[in-house]
Structure 1
Amino acid sequence: MNDDAKLFKHIFEAFCLKFNWGYFDGYKSEQIGRFGFGFTFILLSKYGNLKREDTFYAQKYFNAFPLLMDGIDPGYGTVTNYCESCYSVRTFERFMLHFALVEMPLERRYNISKFITKTVLFDSLIQILPHKESK
């Protein structure tokens, strides 16, 4: 408890790897958002300097993990809109915003368009390094 960096690392790892992100909401899928969260880090590292809509990231996420949309019955609207909304709420509003990894204007959070940018803290904590091939 006396080492802030260790405490943060422990909380961050527990949230990312052990906690069920679905506990925060009423979405049916437990996998969306938490599964492949590292991919979202890659996306934000690459594209997060510019203000982009949450759907930009959601579309890339579901292009990478399309099977997460299988078996989803939203009850209203389209499967795509439902899954993108789930991803956005869990990933940006309930995870990265609370850890101060992204900025999202307050007045736009609960509207249809949500614009995301990464923070300086994101770049301080998350570094995406290119893969080095072994010889």
Structure 2
Amino acid sequence: MINQENEWIISHIDTLIDKVNNLPHEDFEGYSPYEMGSLLNFLNDPRSPLKINVLSDKAYKEIPLLNQTCLLMSILEEQENLLLTKVGNLPPKWVKALYVLGPPELAIEMSSKNVIKEQDTIAVQLARIILKIYRLCKQRHNKLSLTHHGKKLLNNKPALLHGILHVLTYQFNWGYFDGYGNFEIGQLGFGFTLVLLAKYGDKPQPAEFYTDKYFKAFPQLLIDNNNNSQFRHNKKSLKYCYYFRNFDRYLSYLGLVNITKVPSTLEEKYLIQKTPLFDQLITAVAPQGIDDKV
């Protein structure tokens, strides 16, 4: 049985822990551990410092991945049951129509092929994967069609974008399209990256600026736990993984960043700046005790 003295000790310890978890933390840009916890779940936690806003119809059209997803859904609605290729891919004519809505992909732009197949373009594959994970489409007898849920969301862009963000943030494995073993890099703490962009993205910043701040908050991700030496990555490689996944890929697919390559004789350097769409879509509230947006 717990006596009164022990109850007081337990209560005092709980109070101290709660106080510590509410203190601002330098590594977290002044956010407390509690606030960082809510940032990790920013789409579901109403206490999160990060808010996703409803956009105008014009603004939604500036999101490449949303445009590709909407077009694919419209194709499925029109076709009712879209016949896939023998290997289960989207027909090339539809792949081309979807591809041109997204950012250029280097492998395709440099290719001399006139036909674009689904496996050639990451963005189109991703749009289809999102539809599948979010249960907006179904595949039967090598035919693809919209689900009842998909038909309901067809013209609901706020709900569709929320679904896309939810799949990207919590469900889709960011390592699916690359050779990096640690799928958590970039995806874990995606909300923190958005806070960094909200705070510092008005001016072009070197990619290393964001990389350093991210790994300062999540230093454990710089440890490569892959025991297979053939696939182990050094810290420089893991830092590039963060840049590549966040900025070159998913934030670009969402139309939230512009990337400028800086000429260098030694290695490739990039400057990152948020787009005007970013501030329309995302509001980041400053840490507790600071009465303003970041």
1:60 paired with 2:213, answer yes
Aligned match of 2:66: none
The residue aligned with 1:4 is: 157
Identify the residue that residue 16 of structure 2 maps to in structure 1: none
Offset from partner CA, 1:82-114 (integer Å, 9 cap, x none): 111000010101110110010013x56xx6201
- 1:96 lines up with 2:265 in the alignment: no
- Letter aligned with residue 184 of structure 2: Q
Q: Contact 2:224–2:234 (CA<8 Å) still a contact in 1?
A: no
Q: Find runs of 4+ consecutive structure 1 residues off by over 2 angstroms.
A: 71-76, 130-133
Amino acid at match of 2:168: F
C-alpha deviation, 1:130, in angstroms: 2.7
> How many residues are paired up?
130
Report whether the alignment pairs 1:79 with 2:228: no
Highest RCO, 1 vs 2 (Cα 8 Å, sep ≥ 6): 1
Normalised by the length of structure 2, the TM-score is 0.41
1:75 CA drift (Å): 5.9
Counterpart among 150, 154, 177 of residue 24 in structure 1: 177
Partners in 2 of 1:44 and 1:2 — Cα distance? Answer: 29
- 1:37-76 CA deviation, whole Å, 9 max, x = no partner? 1110111011101111111100110011000112356869
1:115 aligns with 2:280: no
Contact 1:103/1:117 (<8 A) preserved = yes
- TM-score after normalising by structure 1: 0.86
Counterpart residue type for residue 123 of structure 1: D
Q: Give SS of 2:187's match.
A: coil
Alpha-carbon distance, 1:13 to partner: 1.4
Name structure 2 gaps, 5 residues minimum. Answer: 1-153, 290-294
* TM superposition shift of 1:8: 1.4
Does the CA contact (< 8 Å) of 1:72 and 1:79 recur in 2?
Answer: no
Shift of 1:79: 2.4
| Amino acid paired to 1:98 | Y
- Return the letter of the residue paired with 1:79: N
Q: Percent identity?
A: 37
Give 3-state SS (helix, strand or coil) of 1:114's partner. Answer: strand
Q: Does the CA contact (< 8 Å) of 1:24 and 1:94 recur in 2?
A: no
- For 2:196 and 2:288, the matched residues in 1 are separated by 19
Q: 2:204 aligns with which of 51, 65, 85?
A: 51
